Amino acid sequence: MTVKEFKLPDLGEGLTEGEILQWLVEPGQQVVLNQPIVEVETAKAAVEIPSPYAGVVKDLMFEAGTTVDVGAVIIRIETDAAGPEEAPANGEDPDEGKTALLVGYGPKAVSATRRPRRQPSEPAPVDGPDLPLLPTIPDSLHSAVKPVRHGGLEIGRAFERATAAASAPVRAKPPVRKMARDLGVDLATVRATGPGGTVTRDDVQRAAKVATEPVQVVPPVARKADGPREERRPVKGVRKLTAEAMVASAYTAPHVTEWLTVDVTRTMELVDRLKAAPEFAELRVSPLLVVAKAVLAAIRRHPDVNGTFEGEEILVKHYVNLGIAAATPRGLVVPNIKDADAMSLVELCAALNKLVAVAKEGRTAPADMAGGSFTISNVGVFGVDGGTPIINPGEAAILAVGAVKLMPWVHDGEVKPRQVMQLSLSFDHRLVDGELGSLFLADIGRVLEDPSTLLLWS
């Protein structure tokens, strides 16, 4: 029997550490080759790591929740020397102390799982003082008060009229007055509906009914006694990487943001037609598909937007790895569609569907987030009109897409209800000047206003 030590591998792109989310095995358990043994979260993804050995788990070197450096021994497995061979780690022998890369590791493809969402403590409601009720103002006083105009004379006259009306005797017949006394109703507070402002029997009965109805008092919500008033969480994983990347981008690339409001009625009509087309029967079609196609067409006309500023050089990419910012339980990720510019509309739609589904499940692999060249951030799904997005590091621009809203719009010389969307483009002013950024954004708007424009540019 031989005890093998397995070290935390480099999970891709030079990451130096990972957090052990959970162990999938326990000491004494029999494991087979390539069986998932541990779930680890890095700054880019949560992944399951397969076992490179077959045998019995002897020791788990770290508890769940521990952040471990790449190259540290995380598990010891007792193997049978005469048993099956261990999985090669990219051609390297783990016993030689070399760190294996997870990418391409063994015959089993690495799968990613969604990290369980932590439930934050609920905020405690704040108890406030009871507010006094305002006194009831007789309707006769309300009717006597006229709109206040500029000048003290008019204000004074309005006050005099209101005071006189409030002190005037209530008009009511003797039987009605007696009913009011018997029911304990103050006639001065009763809304008169009779001729000439006379209080009727129905008026008194209605006032008496309102006075005797029980008041529904809502008890104050007690503060939750078992929850903390404040909570601190460590910044790690995707959120840590995002924070570092956004700070680096914001304070390295000089950002400029331009806005464009577009009539997308024809785009929405196209989306409806695509949904009914047999080629899209198994796909989810959304306005984002047309936006993506518009961006790709505009990049083809203005390729410098698809570049990056690198020291003394400008790198222009003649391919488009189209990134789509996605909110996930682990934080914001930006996976990208490789060579999106070479795809047909159906292929692009399928790729968008897959990208969104994988991101929502928390299974986006690090390789899917690497090498992006242009990013779209669809803030419209949250009902937001627009914003000033921060450029994804290594790119030159990012487009924020707002919500589609029905608004009054001048169309063919008349004000009509139209579907309107707001676009906001942030770009690196070292590479993209105002003219280029404006032309690029205007081209996107032209396609969204009239998708047939794509035919002119093809």
Residue 8 exposed, middle or buried by CB count within 10 Å (0-12, 13-18, 19+): buried
Report the residue count for the chain. Answer: 458
| pLDDT (tens digit per residue) in 216-270 | 555 666 556 677 878 887 877 777 777 888 888 887 889 999 999 999 999 999 9
Annotation marks residue 429 as catalytic? yes
Domains along the chain with CATH numbers: 2-96 (2.40.50.100), 178-209 (4.10.320), 249-457 (3.30.559.10)
Q: Cα–Cα distances in Å, from 315 out to 101, 249, 287, 310, 312? A: 29, 17, 31, 7, 10
Residue with tokens 């794509």: 454
Q: Where are the beta strands (DSSP E) in 173-311?
A: 255-263, 307-310
Nearest in space to 171 (alpha carbons), one of 135, 211, 140, 208: 140
Residue-wise pLDDT tens digits, 287-327: 999 999 999 999 999 999 999 988 888 899 999 999 999 88
> Residue 129's pLDDT is what?
37
- State the Cα–Cα distance between residues 62 and 72, nearest whole angstrom: 10
Q: Is the pTM of this model over 0.75?
A: no
Q: Which of 142, 302, 318, 429 is catalytic?
A: 429
Residue 450 has pLDDT above 90, yes or no: yes
